[in-house]
Structure formats: C-alpha cells, structure tokens
C-alpha cells in the first residue's frame, strides 16, 4: 500500500477572518455615528438631547474599539 502524501499546510487566515469582530464593531459604530448625526440635525441646526448624546458616545466607543482591534491585528501580522 503506497503511503499518502503529507497534508498541505492550512492556508493563512486573512485579516477579515482574523478580525471579523473588529470590522463588525467598526461598521456598527460608523452606522451609529451617521444615525446620531441624522438625529441631531433633524430640525436644521445641531440640537442634541440625552438619547442623541448617548448614541453618539456609544457609537464613538464602538468605532475606537473596532479600529484598535484591526490596528493591533495588522501590527501583529507584520511581526
């Protein structure tokens, strides 16, 4: 019985696969920033209420977390 060839090494995982959660946070945060901007400028000027400020702050936090995760993954990939 002939021996089988050695299995091929697994393919390198791409950035999208490694940091899907980071991209998810970045996308949700960006959509949240757009939504907060739309809510704050709904009546012409820039008027915020408590809900708009909470939406804006939460979205900004999501963008920062997502960008930090992606940046860290890129930095680790170059090492």
Q: What is the pLDDT of residues 15-60, one digit of tens each?
A: 777 789 999 999 999 999 999 888 888 888 888 888 888 989 999 9
Residue 57 lies inside a defined structural domain of this protein:
yes
Residue 63 lies inside a defined structural domain of this protein:
yes
7 band by pLDDT with thresholds 50, 70 and 90: confident
Model pLDDT, residue 30: 96
Residue 12 lies inside a defined structural domain of this protein:
no
Model pLDDT, residue 71: 93
Residue among 74, 78, 57, 79 nearest 18 (CA) = 74
Model pLDDT, residue 11: 65
Q: What's this model's pTM, rounded to 2 decimal places?
A: 0.74
Measured between its terminal Cα atoms, the distance across the chain in Å is: 43
Tell me which residue range forms the domain holding 32: 22-40+49-78
């Amino acid at each position: 019985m002939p021996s089988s060839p050695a299995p091929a090494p697994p393919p390198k995982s791409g950035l999208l696969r490694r940091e899907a959660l980071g991209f998810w946070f970045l996308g949700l945060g960006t959509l949240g920033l757009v939504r907060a901007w739309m809510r704050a400028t709904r009546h012409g000027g820039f008027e915020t209420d408590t809900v708009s400020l909470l939406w804006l702050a939460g979205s900004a936090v999501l963008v920062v977390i997502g960008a930090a995760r992606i940046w860290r993954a890129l930095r680790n990939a170059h090492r």
